[in-house]
Each structure stands twice: as C-alpha cells, then as structure tokens.
Amino acid sequence: MILTLAQLDFTVGDLEGNTQKILSTLEEQRRLIGSEGVETVCIAFPELALCGYPPLDLLDNQSFIEQQLDALQEVCRATFGLLHVYVFLGYVEKNSGAGKALHNSVAVCHNGQVIYNYRKRLLPTYDVFDEDRYFEPGKEAGIVTIEGWRIGLLVCEDIWVTNRYNVDPPAELRKTQVDVILSLNASPSSVGKLEARITRAEEIVQRQSAPLFYLNQVGGNDELVFDGNTFVSSEWGRQYHAQTHVTGDAFKEGVYSFRLDKKLIPNWGVCTTWHVVRDIHKKSPLTLIDKENPKRDFGAFFYDQAVCGVRDYMRKCGFKKAVIGSSGGIDSAVTMAIAVEAVGAENVIAITMPSEYSSVGSVDDSAVLCSNLGIENFKTIPIRDQFQGFMDTFNEHMGDEEAGVTEQNVQARIRGQILMAVSNRTGALVLSTGNKSELSVGYCTIYGDMCGGLAPISDCYKMEVYEIARYVNRKAQGEVIPVSIIDKAPSAELAPGQKDTDNLPPYEILDYVLKYLIEGYVSVNLHVGMKRAPKKTRALLEKIHGMLMRTEFKRRQAAIGLKMHDKAFGQGRRYPIASKVKLGGF
C-alpha cells in the first residue's frame, strides 16, 4: 500500500481555493500512480482541511456549512473510477443525532462517495482551542478496513489523552490490532511542541506493530502558525530501528509518500514496515530525527515561524507591502529582517522618525540596516517640530509641568500616526515591533508604538529577540543586523539619556521572572526559593507581577501577535482587566 501525506497550507473559509488544492494534489498523485501500476493508494489531508482551521464562528453560518459539504462532494466525484484510491479528508460534518449540531470529522472518499466517517473523540477547550463550543464528540473508535489494511484514525487532540478526558482513543486502537495509525492534525506550533508530539507518538506505538503517521497542517491563520513537521513513529521502520522518525519540512508545504508492507518479524509476529518512496517537493529523502541529540536552534525557530506567519497573514489578508518604524533598536531590526524574508525587500517600507532625543548612532544604524537588507524605500521623517507644536498647544491649555511620561508617550503616538498615515497612503500593513517582555509589563505606548495590524515578535521575550538577531547574521554569514544594534543598551530614546533599565530590571532577570509568572517555564526552585527570598527580591517580584496584571488593558487593544509559546497573549490567555489579584503561592 502507498500512503501519501499532504502537508499543505489551507486558508480558513476559502472553500474554492482549498478544494482546488486538494483536487490538484489528487490529480498529481493520480498521474504518479498511473506510471507505477495498480496498487492501493491512500491520500491523506489534515484536520478540517476543507474549510481551514480554525473556522471559529464561521461554523455558526449554515450557508457556510452547506457550501463546505458541496465541496466535499466535488472531491468525492474526483475519485470516481479510481478503484484503488482512497482520500482521507478533514471536514465539518452535520450531526444527525443528539448534541451539538456538528462533528469534526474525517471522510474517507472512494469511487465517488464517502464510504466512512470518523468523528473526533476528544475536543480541546484550553489555550486557543474551543472546539466543544461547536462540535459533538464522536463515540466510536476510528477503524476502517481498506483492501486488507486495518487503518486506525485519530484527529489531533485524540492522541493527547489526559485527565481532562475519560476516553482513550489510542488505547482503543491498540486493542483492535490495527495495521497503521493515521493521525490528522491542525496543531499550532510553539516552543517544544514538535518534541512533545514525538514523545507522545512514541508512547502510543511502544510495543505495537503499527506505525503512527502524523500529518500536520502548515502555514499561518491569524495568530496561529502551523509548522507542518509531518513525521512517522514506529517500533519497526527503516532498517528496523526501534522508534525511527522521519520528518518533512518545517513551515513549508510538502507531499510525502510511503510504501507500507506487512512482514513477519521474529518474536513480534506480523508487523507493518515502511519506507519513503516519494518526496515530491524535495530531491532528498525526508530528514531522520536524532531525538537523543536534538540540535534545536531557537533563534532559527522563532525566525522561521515569524516569517511563515507574516507571509501568510499578508497573503491571506490581501496585503502586498509592509511598513515598519525603524528606530535603530533590536526589535525593529529583527522585525524588518523577518518582513524582508517574508515578502521581499522591495515590499518593505522603513520609516525612521528621529526626535531631539534620538542618538546619531540609532539613525545611522537604521540606514545601514536598510542597506544590508536591501530596503530601498527608506525614509526619514523627523518628529521634532510636530512634537514641539503639540506640546506648546497642550501646555497652553493644561499648564507647564516637568517633562515626564506624557511627553514620552506623545512622541510615540506621533510616530504611530505617521506609520498609520503611510499605511493609508500606500495600503501597506503596519508591523508592530514590540516584544513580549515589554508587552508583559506595559513598557509600550497604547496608540503609539503598539499600533499596527500584526505583531510578529510580540510572543518573543527580549532575550529571544537577540537570539533571532544573531541567527539572522549566522544565516547570512555576515553582519546583516549591525553588531552596534545588537550590542547597544536597549532604550526607547524618549528622554535624555534614557535606558530601559531606568524603569525595568535587566532583561535577563525580567525574562526569567516573566516566563515563570506567565508560562511556568522556570524551574520549581524559583517557586521554593521565593519563600525564603530577601525582601528586595520579593519586592521586585511583586512589582513585576503588579505591572503584568495592571497592563492587561493595553494587551486587549494590541495588534494580534504570532503565537510562539504555550501561553501567548490573546485568545489563549484570558485574564480580567479590572482585578486586584495579588502575587500568591510563595
């Protein structure tokens, strides 16, 4: 049997485009099948591929559901006459029984009709997921027999059995002795997610003769970025090495085919073995994962994910160009590098807006950076006169006071106005340049540097932004982002001699505490140590926690940011704005 996994990028709601992509893949496979003779071929597409994931409240639109079902029939008709071809397709099925109106389902299409439906059993309601709002869970294990092959089906959350659920879909498949497990997914990418998937897959296939083929969606939909990273996990695979894994490309489309055979293995019995037979989008075989010695470059991960997210967000929303405020600092430099990789230097507009507090070095660094990135549309628009005129008028009515945060925020808002005006004039998308550390504690100006339509690095902590910058230079084997930008002390340059450390702890410390408070990443030793913490340390933690909680109102009004961590600001982290919660648990 040939099993083909289509790791493709689907757009939410684009029924026509998604259907054509599925039909094109089917036609491409049909041509290849014709040249290789007649055998069983299964072609699989990711979870909810037909409508795109996540469809959210589009699922409340009855017309949308009906159009999607019409699209399913179009795919089914394309299989007519292909007697040995079976298409596994994620779609939204109407529920004919009691409960919610819909199922998150996989249809098996063959010879012009749907011959089997599997309904997702476990519906996540945590983080960015809210599937129980729309779907009724399935009640039966997913097992379909195709020309002598027993295929077990799982959909995304079905593999993540925890105490949230009283059903264990992988265990049910294990009892039935299937030949192959096929897991169709729309699993968003975040730090450590691939490793977690592989670990879970290993647990499922342990002491089992059936390999697990994990197919994941790729591409960005709003703030979620899907990494692809389709892989295989098995006790018996290439060269019969236990726990062999191969993976497709990260953040790229790919269509991968495997030949499956049944062989008698001593002391095991009949087992399913596999090997790669076709990798349409690459000349080399899929990558063998060395899980014992992972070589994860986090700078590369954040960069690649941001590039994918920016590229897809702009393409799917119809933007051709991006505009970015170039301050000469690390955040805007990294954002510009990401934008250039995503849409090309010719489609990036860089605006530097110096004030009387801007250093000559920052202005010069902006020019050098744009030259290195190939950005020709680089403009300098000084804000000194606008700022002074505004403050003169404002002080005339409100009275003079010693310069402070008001004057600083006015500068940021003037810059935001300029960027939005450029957006109006050119149709370019404003990319916000804030990072997670600053957004966490409110070290940003609402309606100022927070303005924009997308925030590529808003889920990257400050020290992670530096990792991305160093990766950009390693990748280019040269100094794309000037070392002077990487080495300079962070500063908003809104006041004379201003440094971020005037108001914040060093970012090495701030990031450490924020990761603990927001995501629980930090060692439990920090939690234990706080009970014995000196008063100054305790005061610092309380200050950071207070800043985090008080500035929720800013984050609610921020541009959507690309999710990078398990806990990103946005729909996956829901905190009240009006609250008096205190730092506890220490």
Q: Dihedral (C-alpha) 485, 475, 187, 60: value to the nearest 10 degrees?
A: 60
Rounded CA separation 348/342 (Å): 10
Rounded CA separation 244/237 (Å): 6
Question: Is 580 tagged catalytic?
Answer: no
Catalytically annotated residue among 47, 93, 157, 407: 47
322: which strand partners? 348, 429
Evaluate the CA torsion angle 217, 223, 105, 154 in order and state its sign: positive
Structure tokens at 158: 């079905």
Determine phi and psi for 354, rounding to 5 degrees: -70, 145
Question: Is 47 tagged catalytic?
Answer: yes
Rounded CA separation 191/92 (Å): 29
Within a 13 Å sphere around the CA of 191, how many CA atoms are in the beta-carbon half?
Answer: 18
Catalytically annotated residue among 42, 156, 271, 308: 156
E strand residue ranges, 39-195: 41-44, 85-94, 102-110, 113-119, 142-146, 149-155, 180-185
315: which strand partners? none
Angle between helices 330-343 and 298-317 (to 10 degrees): 60
Structure tokens at 506: 């060093």
Quick check: 121 and 167 in contact, CB under 8 A?
A: yes
Within a 13 Å sphere around the CA of 118, how many CA atoms are in the beta-carbon half?
Answer: 28
Structure tokens at 482: 């000037």
What Cα–Cα distance (Å) separates residue 500 from each residue in 285, 444, 459, 462, 465? 48, 11, 19, 12, 15
Structure tokens at 445: 């100006």
Rounded CA separation 380/512 (Å): 36
Quick check: 465 and 572 in contact, CB under 8 A?
A: no
E strand residue ranges, 502-581: none
136: which strand partners? none
Q: Which of 199, 108, 134 is nearest to 160 (CA)?
A: 199
Rounded CA separation 257/274 (Å): 10
Catalytically annotated residue among 21, 120, 462, 554: 120
Catalytic sites, residue numbers: 47, 120, 156
